[in-house]
Amino acid sequence: MGWIKLAVGIATTLISAADLILKLCVSCAWISVAASACAMKILGWLSFAGFILTGVLMLVELGYSIFCWFYELIFDLDRTLGHTEKPAYIFDSVEKPGGAITVRYKSALDDKGNIGDINAGMQYKWCILAYTNDKNVGSPLVLDDTGQVFKAIYGNSSKQNGYDHIRYFGERNVANTNAYCEYDYKNGCYLHFRTLSSIEGAAPESETEQETVDTKTSSYIGAVMISVAANVEQAKAKIVRHEGKYYTYDYNLSPDMGFATYIGYSITDDPSRAVTDIRVAPYAGSSDGTAVVMIGDIAYTRADGTALGEGAP
């Protein structure tokens, strides 16, 4: 779509320049031969041509706006109809001393209440950010003494001192949130987060710099949302306008793409209601949308028992 914007930009510039030249000619004609009947005719024709060029310019701009609207509409429909459905909840089996337990993760939603996709539906693939409040799998996410909770790093999958990290279901290593993005020139985006246990268990950088958290006055993460838009400003604005008070983690998770991806989060002062873990669930998908969705070792189906994507267009 870039070449279309360039062509429209050039055409708009040329028409504006021609319109300016005509207006200059009209002004000169008025000054030099204001009393001449011939000059009056010339002025009339030049003025008429100026009106025509101005009208053409307006039509070009209007046509381009309509084209952009249809393009975005078709693109959204393609992402919706051509992709395998995303599960609203994702489950994981966790081994405990008393046996395995099942933990439910909620897929983070976007500003419209749909299941968010940090991959923006590119290439018939999606990448879900899912979180849980279950105490059996982690420690409450908490804002540190600088008011921060997340830390994203491009191109480095190393674990960070004082942080837990986002991982794929069924894996332990730090997950690349840019999984299945069409472009990833920064060699991955790896997201880490603060928890009570990660801060308390952090290795001190010096003997006098051991981090601590006051659990009575701390602010915890209550929920997470995803915002994807054409640019950074629009992505941030969606989080600000979202129902309820959400804060923005000011870091673009998809810097190599033609869109911007941001995380929003709500805050609670109740640690029992705090998010305790965040995972990434990427799915390679297929263009016909009929593949069975496997996340970790679990296959996902609809309530009627059919596989997600079965019968999809």
Write out pLDDT tens, residues 122-161. 656 788 899 999 999 999 999 998 899 999 999 888 999 9
pLDDT of residue 56: 74
% residues pLDDT > 70 (the chain) = 64
The counts of H helices and E strands in the chain are 4, 13
The pLDDT of residue 163 is above 50? yes
Residue 197 has pLDDT above 80, yes or no: yes
Per-residue pLDDT at 95: 82
Say if pTM beats, i.e. exceeds, 0.95.
no
* Residue 21 confidence (pLDDT) above 90: no
For the residues 203-225, what does the mean pLDDT come to?
72
More confident residue, 118 or 1: 118
For residue 200, is pLDDT > 80? yes
Mean pLDDT of the chain: 77
Q: Find tokens 């609670």 and name the residue.
A: 268
Of 107, 276, 127, 265, residue with least CA distance to 188: 127
What pLDDT shows up at residue 256?
75
Identify residue 40 by its one-letter amino acid code. M
pLDDT above 70: residue 4: no
The SS3 assignment for 239 reads helix
Name the 3-class secondary structure at 193: strand
pLDDT of residue 177: 86
For the chain, the 3-state helix, strand and coil shares in percent, each to the nearest 5, are 30, 25, 45
Which two tokens mark 195? Answer: 């928890």
Query: Does pLDDT of 80 surpass 50?
Result: no
Mean pLDDT in residue range 90-118: 89
- Summarize the confidence of residues 37-60 as an average pLDDT: 67
Residue 119 near residue 127, CB atoms below 8 Å: yes
Structure tokens given for 58? 């307006």
As a whole number of Å, the end-to-end CA separation of the chain is 26
Query: What is the identity of the amino acid at 172?
Result: R
Identify whether the C-beta of residue 111 lies closer than 8 Å to the C-beta of residue 241: yes
Above 70 in pLDDT, residue 291? Answer: no
Please state, in angstroms and rounded to a whole number, the distance separating the CA atoms of residues 118 and 73.
19
